[in-house]
Amino acid sequence: MSSGCSCRAFAIARAILTLPLPLLAALALAGCGHSAGNAQPVTAAAAAPVRLAWLPLEPLVAADVAKTVNDRLGHLAVPGATRSYRAPVSMEVAQLALECIEATAHCYTEVGRSVGADRLLWAELGPAPLSADGLRVAVMLFDVRSSAVLKRVERTYDGLDAVRAGVATLVDHALDASGAKPPGGSKPQ
């Protein structure tokens, strides 16, 4: 720093201090840049964007069912989501890659972080408990930030043909507030 800068700052400070006290007070109040009459209402900060990743269903059990589910998940409007995108892998593949294969909030949170999402949406297809031919379909909505399941809808169907007939309706209405049983012969689990 040069001595000219410090001398100029000192000269400005000395000039301010030599002003009369009432003038200093008026300048100080005017420097605040506002008055009671011009107060602006305080607005809430914009909510953080919510990135939703939907994870595709693997076509291992029934390719046509997986295609229907994936088409529906891709078009599902999720309340609160500002951006929706398809994750590059299914939930199962993501969990295997992370070596966290349990169906727990911790593992789901790790999957969400790995795909850069604030929320996850996916479907599961598997055998129904206590049934030789029954299949269970579940649709899950998970909040990564709070590590909590926001919504889970599950239905048991009497075989693959019943799944084919009812899975589109199940996915389409998975996020409905009512949780009503979708048509198509499915049974609530």
* Burial category of 10 from C-beta neighbours within 10 Å (exposed 0-12, middle 13-18, buried 19 and up): exposed
- Residue at 33 is within a domain: no
In this structure, are strands 83-86 and 51-55 parallel, antiparallel, or unpaired?
A: parallel
Cβ neighbours around 140 below 10 Å, total: 20
Q: Is 9 part of a structural domain of the chain? A: no
Classify 93 as helix, strand or coil.
helix
The answer to whether position 112 is within a domain reads yes
**How many CA within 13 A on the CB side of residue 72?**
20
What is the tens place of the pLDDT at every residue in 57-113? Answer: 999 878 999 999 999 999 988 888 999 999 999 999 999 999 999 999 999 999 999
pLDDT in tens, 37-58: 555 555 556 678 999 999 999 9
Domain assignment present for 22? no
| DSSP-assigned letter for residue 18 | T
* Domain contains 168: yes
pTM of the model: 0.69
Residue 37 forms part of a structural domain:
no
Q: Are 67 and 59 in contact (CB under 8 A)?
A: yes
Domain that holds residue 123: 51-188
Domain-located, residue 148: yes
Q: Structurally, how many domains does the chain consist of? A: 1
What's the CA gap between 154 and 141, in Å, rounded? 12
What CATH number is given to the structural domain containing 77?
Answer: 3.40.50
Side-chain-side CA neighbours of residue 48 (13 Å)? 7
Q: What is the helix (H) or strand (E) element at residue 25, kind and residue range?
A: helix 21-31
Q: What is the pLDDT of residues 111-156, one digit of tens each?
A: 999 999 999 999 999 888 877 788 999 999 999 999 999 999 999 9
Place of tokens 């390719």: 63
Integer Cα distance of 159 and 139 in angstroms:
18
List the structure tokens of 14. Answer: 């000395």
In a domain, 26, yes or no: no
- Chain centre to alpha carbon of residue 101: 21
